[in-house]
Structure 1
Amino acid sequence: MINKKWIGFRFSILLAATFLLVNRSSGQSLYTLQQCIDTSLKNSLQLKSDNLDLDKTKASIGEAYSSLLPTVSASGSYQYQFKVPVQLVPGELFGGTAGTYQVAQFSVPQTKSGSLDLSQTLFNASSLIALKAAKVAVNLNQLQIQSSKEDLVYNVSATYYNIQTIMKQMEMTSRNLQNTEELLQSTSDQYKAGLATETDVDRLNVSRDNSRADLESERNSLEKQYNLLKYLMNVPLESNIVIPDIDQAGTIVPAETPAFDITKKTDYLQVLENRRVAELERKNIKAGYLPSLTLSANYGVSGYYSNADPFKNLNDKWYSSSYIKLALNVPIFDGFNKKYRIQSKSVEIKKYDVQAEQLRQQSLKNVANANADLKSNFLTLQNKRRSLDLAQKVLDDLQLQYQNGIAKITDVINSQTDLHTAQNNYINALINIKQAELDLKKAQGTLLN
């Protein structure tokens, strides 16, 4: 007699498979790795933030350029004094006694004035260098965007491969569970007929429960990885994203390793740009030894009246004034401040040279290691694939022998354990080779290619 639990389990599998087929047939599309990457690059909040930083830095170029342009300002004022200030003057100026003082007012209550001021820097080396530094800062922001893109592509790819690996693991675990259920059903029937022991049934029950627990844990891991992928793509968590299994993604073959070019490494280019900034800052400090020359001009008019009336002037006249000025500022001595600041910047530049060389050597090492890992993992994957096929064959043979009464249930369970180990080894080899491919691209600076 067929066990009711077994019928329920087989029905559940059929129902889940039917639901999956309905979903896929209803227009649900599979997301390729490139589609996931494109979506993440389009929606990334980090990239949006980096681009805003770039816009802010571009604005600083205009700010630096403005220091080279003339400045024009206009001003005006109106003042009425209820009590005009007085001043004391010697009395003898007005025919009085020497040693005495008289009170005099030298202004009227109402005063109006307006002026136009112009200033133009004729020579200031620091302003020219600041403009160059602002342009270099834009390059640094662009490199930061490049770095953020590379990190995003790396994380999306790693998550994508993790999902494919877990799906493959779930596929194998489901197959193991189904085989155990079938063996358990057969052994239960043999136990009822007196051909198997209760211990045999119990051992298979334990094996089945362990497989179910493994499958549930894998489902939980798969859901978390999908959530991570949606987070990296910046799409709602309820979005319906389906990743093809690793067999559908293509056959894994070792690729030719392109020649390594250090100038493709974003972190290396960032060090070079930082060095340029430090070099410009040193030049800017040196420019402090040079004189600066500024031209300024002013034209203004003033009107006066004895009462509060903005529309009237004494004698109905405006009195004008103007000047032009050429100002030269020559630094002489600053207590050796600039000297030591220049020394500090020179040390900083040397440090960037050391960092650049460190990055070059480290990148060469990372490329060599990633390339070696890729080749080694490819050979390991082939070996693990053969071991997996052999473990599956041994289990199939032992199950057949057990059903014919030749093998013991202990041999079958041990063979299941060996198969489970071979499956885990194969899964690990899959993820390792994908990880090695990613690491090689990262080391070469070709993640965005």
Structure 2
Amino acid sequence: MIINKRATRLITMVLMLLVSSVIPAQELDPVLKDLIHKGLNKNHSIKNNRLEAQQAKVDQQMAKAVFLPNITFNASYARLNDDITFDDATKTLLMGTQKLIIKDAIGLPFNSPFPDNIPLQQPANLQDKDIFKSSVDLDWVLFSGLEARNALKASKHKEQSLNFLGEAEKDKMALQIIETYDKLALVKASKQVLITTEDFLNEQAFYVSKAIENGLATPLSRKKIEIAQQQLAARKLEFDHNNIMLIEVLHQLTGETKINLRKLEPQLTAFSLASDFSVAKRYEVKALEEAEKATNYQSKMEKSNFIPKVAIKGRYEFIEDDLSLLDPQWFVGVGVQWHVFDGNTSRLKSRKTQLERQKFQERIEEAQEMIALSIIKAELSYQAAQQNTIIVKKEIELANDTYEMVNKQYQNNLSSITDVLDALTDVEKANFKLQESYFKERRAVADLLHAKGILTY
């Protein structure tokens, strides 16, 4: 009979669910892996984190650049209201001295009058009123008092911390995509169960119609089937809406086109999980540890403000004519800067940074405690999901056996159509529960791998 053929198909589908392939916990669907990689490339938080890490790398280059010489070219023009000259008394003294030198040079006595035919040179201006300068300056730090060295190390640890935070963000993103993908698989599997149930209802409707024609059933039986078909249509509409929503979420997470996402046929399969895999340090803890190290070196950098700093200073003037009588054409010098007391500013900054470091230490301990708790929770969830899968498989066997028995009884007028519909509903629910159990099992495994820091994708 047609009913028996449909029953055979249902049993076949159930057996496929019961013996669904079991894959290693770390082996993900290649399609899912591709979606995860696309999501990681699209995620804005991961991109921002990557940019912040690049900024920390630039900070390192800036710390190193402190020891590179700074060379500056300068040019300026100024006009004074008048030339800067010696006062009259000084001018008279300079002119008298010039006469004495000349008379001594030509052999005239000290008291003899100065010859009128010998010109005298007027004293030069201290500074001409038109001033044009062009020069090059050199500033070169030889020793920064360990400030640059500590700043460099702080930036390196900050970069590492940001890199680890980026990896932690990737794990969260991967978990979100895996969960959404599995939800889509659950919807697809549930829809398939509904289609099979719909086929059975159609066959039952055909059987009841024939029975009514032959006087073996009442129109009330057909009404009950019609109600069951309407309820099934409502469930199908609900799953269609869920499918649309999950496609939208995957599109937003991964950037994959909706057309390609609609073509996906994900499957829920049970995970096998080895009991001897190791536990790795989580990226969140590594990020906090690196941040703690960065604050330590930042504190040292602030303390190093009291260490003397040594630098070279130099200048060379290209235009000598516009220099004053007191300006050198070039000079080179070595200077020392030593902050002896800065109003406790550096000490207080260092103290504040040390307190920040203690906060990171507390956060590390808290994170480790929470991770240990999440591992236990995930292990218990996994064990519960496994046990639930075993129970649901037994329920499916019972539901199918019951349906076959009730269906045969109905055909022999030993039970009502209501009993058949109830049995069919139990089969449908049992198959739903198996898919949900697989979903929970996969969630528990993913959470456990993430908690132990060994999630790969």
CA displacement at 1:183 relative to structure 2: 1.0
CA displacement at 1:352 relative to structure 2: 1.7
- Aligned residue for 1:302, secondary structure, equals coil
Corresponding residue for residue 410 of structure 2: 402
Offset from partner CA, 1:271-321 (integer Å, 9 cap, x none): 10110111011101111121212221112143558xxxxxxx9xxxxx961
TM-score normalised per structure 1: 0.80
Corresponding residue for residue 82 of structure 2: 85
Partners in 1 of 2:55 and 2:358 — Cα distance?
29
Q: Which amino acid in the other structure matches residue 351 of structure 1?
A: K
Contact 1:78 1:113 in 2 (8 A): yes
- Aligned residue for 2:272, secondary structure, equals coil
Corresponding residue for residue 52 of structure 1: 51
CA displacement at 1:147 relative to structure 2: 1.7
Partners in 2 of 1:49 and 1:336 — Cα distance?
37
Partners in 1 of 2:352 and 2:182 — Cα distance?
48
Corresponding residue for residue 379 of structure 1: 387
| 1:22-421 equivalence runs, <5 A | 32-79=31-78, 81=79, 84-85=81-82, 107-124=127-144, 125-239=146-260, 242-246=263-267, 250-261=269-280, 263=281, 265-304=282-321, 321-421=329-429
CA displacement at 1:251 relative to structure 2: 4.9
1:107–1:123 CA distance, 2 compared to 1 (3 A): closer
Specify which of 416, 428, 441 is matched with residue 436 of structure 2.
428
CA displacement at 1:105 relative to structure 2: 7.7
Contact 1:122 1:294 in 2 (8 A): yes
Partners in 2 of 1:346 and 1:138 — Cα distance?
19
- For the pair shown, the structure with the greater C-alpha radius of gyration is 2
- Aligned residue for 2:319, secondary structure, equals strand
Partners in 1 of 2:353 and 2:56 — Cα distance?
23
Partners in 2 of 1:93 and 1:68 — Cα distance?
48
Partners in 1 of 2:449 and 2:399 — Cα distance?
34
TM-score normalised per structure 2: 0.79
Corresponding residue for residue 12 of structure 1: none
CA displacement at 1:187 relative to structure 2: 1.4
1:45–1:362 CA distance, 2 compared to 1 (3 A): closer
> Any gaps of 5 or more consecutive residues in structure 1?
1-29, 96-103, 306-312, 314-318
CA displacement at 1:371 relative to structure 2: 1.3
Contact 1:230 1:237 in 2 (8 A): yes
1:304–1:122 CA distance, 2 compared to 1 (3 A): closer
Aligned-residue identity in percent: 17
CA displacement at 1:406 relative to structure 2: 0.8
Offset from partner CA, 1:179-211 (integer Å, 9 cap, x none): 112112211232233322222221111111111
Contact 2:320 2:329 in 1 (8 A): no
Q: Which amino acid in the other structure matches residue 203 of structure 1?
A: K
Partners in 1 of 2:320 and 2:84 — Cα distance?
22
Offset from partner CA, 1:223-271 (integer Å, 9 cap, x none): 2222322332222223355434426xx554343351223x2x0000011
Partners in 2 of 1:253 and 1:105 — Cα distance?
96
CA displacement at 1:412 relative to structure 2: 1.8
> Any gaps of 5 or more consecutive residues in structure 2?
1-28, 93-123
Contact 1:290 1:331 in 2 (8 A): yes
| Greater shift in the superposed pair: 147-156 or 209-218 | 147-156
